[in-house]
Structure 1
Amino acid sequence: MSLGSKVLSGTIWASLDRFGTIFLQFFVNLVLARLLTPADYGCIGMLSIFLVVSQVLVDGGFGSALIQKKEPTQIDYSTIFFWNLLFACFLYVVLFLLSPYIALFFKMPLLSDVLKVLGLILIINSLGIIQNNRLRKQMKFKKISFVNVSSFFISSLVGIYLACHGLGVWSLVIMQLCNAMFNAGTLWVVARWYPSFVFSFRTLKELFGFGGYLLASNILQEICKNLQGLIIGRKFSSVEMGFYSQAKKLDDIACLTLPNVIMQVMFPLYSQLQNDLKQLKNALNMSVQVISFVIFPLIAILILIAHPLICFLYGHKWEGAIPYFQILCVGGLFACLQNVNYYAVAALGKSKPLFRWSFYKWGMLFIFLFVGIHWGIHGLLWGMVISSLNIYLVNALLVSKYCHYSLAEQLKGVLPVFCLSLIVAMLLWLLNQQWLLPFGVNIVIYITVYIMIAYVARFKAFEYCFLLLNKLLKLDK
């Protein structure tokens, strides 16, 4: 297959993977949200920062380094496999020993036992990291899609069954463990790669040259992305943490699903185009415009219908999550474009500048959060919004420097889409002041008006979306 066909095929299967998993997660979350309490979700949310940061440490940036390296060898893959496994075991022991103190910090004794069990995910996940990275590098997203969707489907059945029998938070814990086990086991079967009993410190040092800086940058990123959960869990109740977790989960589905699908496919492509900046710029421009054209109006309509939507999906006991969700959606306008720029720079091997700038980006987040907390949890969330804007601007400026795709060019592509999304939302809001329309009718009206105006005004982003859709349909035939 040509490179273009591989990208389009990868986009199809990565989309099926991501959206299939998201659909299952969404459906399962609807069921579990009615069986469990906000406090149950809050319990898991309090521990997320420890597990996410540990998982980033396990990968160590080596996964991205192996994808970025043009021709990794069996020795490279085997070395990183054993490193991941050994380091995962080490981190699990650390979490096990710290679990009583973490529970004491949050004043919830139950967290100690939960973390001891949930931490096993680190070891299980480490067994499938290399297999997953090999499939990604080979752009075999069809196989990845099968693994992820099937694993989550089976584990979800387990989680729902346990929740129905009153296991509470433990149904969420066991569901995540089952998902990790099924995922790692299936990857071994599907990828058909097995480690050789070799370990090269030379390989470790070589890959760390790229992956080390990316690791440090990712650690700072994940710590700061989950820091607000740590603050909310400590300063507020587990119920408030549950509201925040549910709002964040729904916001991530809306704002990050499509960008993550695109970046899963585009990062290997960016790496292949690292010696052709013109082609890289074109690919980056299309990614930015397609994402903004789809995500911006989605965010606008979700803010508009947040109240009836959340009550319909989760029930009235989750009404407390509505203002959190609306504020997070505003930040999603900037968050959806952050990684597009980030991974374009990473594909050029510029992990060191990314690492250096991460201190500024995440240092500013600390400032915004600790200033915002003086106005309560809403102030904290608005601090996250301002931080998302700051991170987007920094990543865009780095792309301007290394990929010759200036911030002005990016804004020229996304500002018309932003203005159109806002105008249509305001018109629909005014219409609802006169006639209170069902949220389904609001969605239909919004999409119809938005697409018609974009078509008549000949938005470049609309043309990109239409062109991409047309190519995907032709490839499917």
Structure 2
Amino acid sequence: MSLKQQIISGFFWTYLQQFSSQIINFSISLVLARLLLPEDFGTMGLIYIFITIGHVLIDGGLSLSLIRNLDTDDEDFSTVFYANIGVSVLVYSLVFIAAPFIADFYKLEILTNIIRVFAVTFIISAFSSVQSAFLSKNMQFKTQMMIAIPSIIASGIVGITLAFFNFGVWSLVWASITQNGIGTLQLWFYNNWRPKRVFNKIKFLKHLHFGYKLIITGIFDAVFVNIYPIFIGKTFSIKQVGFYTQAEGLKQLPVSNVGGALSKVTLPLFSKIQNDSQKLKEAYDRITQLVLFVITPILIFMSVLANPLLLFLYSAKWVAAAPYLKILCFAGILPTINGYNINILNAKGKSNYILKIEILNKIFLVLMILFFYRYGIYALVWTKLLSSIFSYLLNSYYCGKELNYSLFDQIMNITPVLLLSFLSGFVVQTIYVTLNSSQIPLLLKLLIPCFIGIIFYCSLIFIFKRKLIEELKWILNTKFQHGK
């Protein structure tokens, strides 16, 4: 199979996994949102930072090092595997001890037991990270899809059953543990790789040399991705955390389906052509434009239709999340590109750039939060948009240095798609306002503006950016002709 066919095949299976996973997760979340309270989701939102940091410390960027290095062997994989197991036990012990102090910080006693139970996923994930890296390195994304779907379905059954019997927030805890556990078991069943009884200190230090910067980067990212739930929970209320996390999850649905799938494929892809800057530039340019072509209008349409969308999907008790969703959708557009910038730098081995980018991004975000939070919770959330713009400019600048692709040229290449999407969003908003006073069902008030908006957007793209449609058709044709 040629490299192009590998790319398309990898994207197809990864996208199918992402799409199927998100649809199933989304369906599960619809049921759980009606069975549980915003406070239940808010409670889980408070602990995600500690769980995420734990997973970062366990993996330590070592799996990424395995994927990007061209000369890895069984000794490399075994060494990283045993390192992950050892660190997972240590991290779990530390979190177990820290749990009461975290609960005291939020004045929420139940957090102690929730954190101690949920943190079991550290040890479970330590058994799966190298297996997953092995599949990703060999671009076996079809196998990963076959593993992901049953895990999500099983976790959904557990979560919904427990929620139905009034287990509250524990429904979400045990659902996550179930997904991790079943996913790990399947990885060992489908993948033939097994660790050897060897730990090579030199190889460990080699991967750690690349990975330690990613550990620091990952911790920074974990803290600041979750800084809003932490700040909202401490300064405002747990209920507001629930509204925020639910809006964030809904916004992530299209972002994960398209941007997340491609991001997973692009690291091994970029690594294969890491020594050819021209090919890297062409691949990066194609991918970013295609992703924005698909994601931007979806996010803008979701933003302008936030109120009726939440009312239709989650019921009236979640409509208060609409202001968050409006802001987060706009803030979610540019970060879809940042993942590809980081993958370019990872493929080039520029983890020092990644660390520098993360530090500068987080300094900017902290300054924005400290300045704006005094003006209320919505002003606080608007800082996410400001930081996403700053982050895009910074990421694109450093990525452009490696590709000889100026920041100005990158901005000019994505501007037409952004403008056409915003214009289409204005049309959707106008139609919805017109229909809102009528007596037609709520579903039609959503579908009619979206349908007209899609027709309008596709017409503009066909007139001004026809190459994007041709590119998308080429990808689909290539997949169905050669990629299966």
| TM-score calculated relative to the size of structure 1 | 0.98
* Other-structure match for 2:441: none
Per-residue deviation, 1:235: 1.2
Per-residue deviation, 1:232: 1.1
Q: 1:451 aligns with which of 458, 462, 481?
A: 458
Residues 120-166 of structure 1: CA distance to partner in whole angstroms, max 9, x if unpaired?
A: 00110110100000000000000000111111111211111111111
SS at match of 1:275: coil
8 Å CA contact 1:293–1:462 kept in 2: the answer is no
Q: Is there any run of 5+ residues in structure 1 with no aligned partner, and where?
A: none
Amino acid at match of 2:173: V
Amino acid at match of 1:323: P
Per-residue deviation, 1:473: 2.8
- Distance, in Å, in 1 between the alignment partners of 2:133 and 2:483 is 25
Matched, 1:18 2:14: no
Amino acid at match of 1:370: L
* Other-structure match for 1:48: 48
- Distance, in Å, in 1 between the alignment partners of 2:331 and 2:433 is 26
SS at match of 1:333: coil
8 Å CA contact 1:79–1:199 kept in 2: the answer is yes
* Other-structure match for 1:473: 480
8 Å CA contact 2:65–2:211 kept in 1: the answer is yes
Amino acid at match of 1:454: I
Matched, 1:133 2:140: no
- Distance, in Å, in 2 between the alignment partners of 1:94 and 1:318 is 36
* Other-structure match for 1:385: 385
- Distance, in Å, in 1 between the alignment partners of 2:41 and 2:55 is 20
* Other-structure match for 2:146: 146
Amino acid at match of 2:264: Q
- Distance, in Å, in 2 between the alignment partners of 1:237 and 1:47 is 15
8 Å CA contact 2:432–2:445 kept in 1: the answer is no
Per-residue deviation, 1:463: 3.0
8 Å CA contact 1:293–1:417 kept in 2: the answer is yes
Per-residue deviation, 1:379: 1.3
Matched, 1:230 2:230: yes
SS at match of 1:278: helix
SS at match of 2:149: helix
Per-residue deviation, 1:476: 5.3
8 Å CA contact 2:8–2:483 kept in 1: the answer is no
- Distance, in Å, in 2 between the alignment partners of 1:353 and 1:429 is 41
Residues 330-351 of structure 1: CA distance to partner in whole angstroms, max 9, x if unpaired?
A: 1112111111111111110011
Per-residue deviation, 1:288: 0.6
SS at match of 2:100: helix
Per-residue deviation, 1:357: 2.6
8 Å CA contact 2:248–2:328 kept in 1: the answer is yes
- Distance, in Å, in 2 between the alignment partners of 1:476 and 1:62 is 30
Q: Is there any run of 5+ residues in structure 2 with no aligned partner, and where?
A: 437-443
* Other-structure match for 1:74: 74
Matched, 1:441 2:439: no
Per-residue deviation, 1:229: 1.3
8 Å CA contact 2:18–2:256 kept in 1: the answer is no
* Other-structure match for 1:464: 471
8 Å CA contact 1:371–1:383 kept in 2: the answer is no
Amino acid at match of 1:474: Q
Per-residue deviation, 1:71: 2.0
- Structure 1 window deviating more from structure 2 (407-416 vs 306-315): it is 407-416
Per-residue deviation, 1:413: 2.1
Amino acid at match of 1:415: T
Aligned CA RMSD, in angstroms, stands at: 1.3
Amino acid at match of 1:214: L
8 Å CA contact 1:15–1:261 kept in 2: the answer is yes
- Structure 1 window deviating more from structure 2 (335-344 vs 315-324): it is 335-344
Residue pairs, 1:19-418, within 5 angstroms = 19-418=19-418
SS at match of 1:249: helix
Amino acid at match of 1:411: I
1:431–1:205 distance in 2 versus 1, CA, 3 Å: same
Amino acid at match of 1:317: K
Residues 318-370 of structure 1: CA distance to partner in whole angstroms, max 9, x if unpaired?
A: 01111001101111121111111111111100111211232111111111112
- Distance, in Å, in 2 between the alignment partners of 1:359 and 1:459 is 39
Per-residue deviation, 1:472: 2.2
Identity of aligned residues (%): 31
- Structure 1 window deviating more from structure 2 (84-93 vs 369-378): it is 369-378
Per-residue deviation, 1:8: 0.8
8 Å CA contact 1:413–1:461 kept in 2: the answer is no
Residues 63-106 of structure 1: CA distance to partner in whole angstroms, max 9, x if unpaired?
A: 11000100211111111101111101111111110101100001
* Other-structure match for 2:432: 432
- Distance, in Å, in 2 between the alignment partners of 1:399 and 1:196 is 38
- Distance, in Å, in 2 between the alignment partners of 1:79 and 1:268 is 21
Residues 247-277 of structure 1: CA distance to partner in whole angstroms, max 9, x if unpaired?
A: 1111111334311100111110100101111
- Distance, in Å, in 2 between the alignment partners of 1:25 and 1:363 is 34
| TM-score calculated relative to the size of structure 2 | 0.96
Structure 1's consecutive aligned runs of 4 or more residues displaced over 3 angstroms after TM superposition are 431-437
Amino acid at match of 1:353: Y
SS at match of 1:438: helix
Amino acid at match of 2:26: F
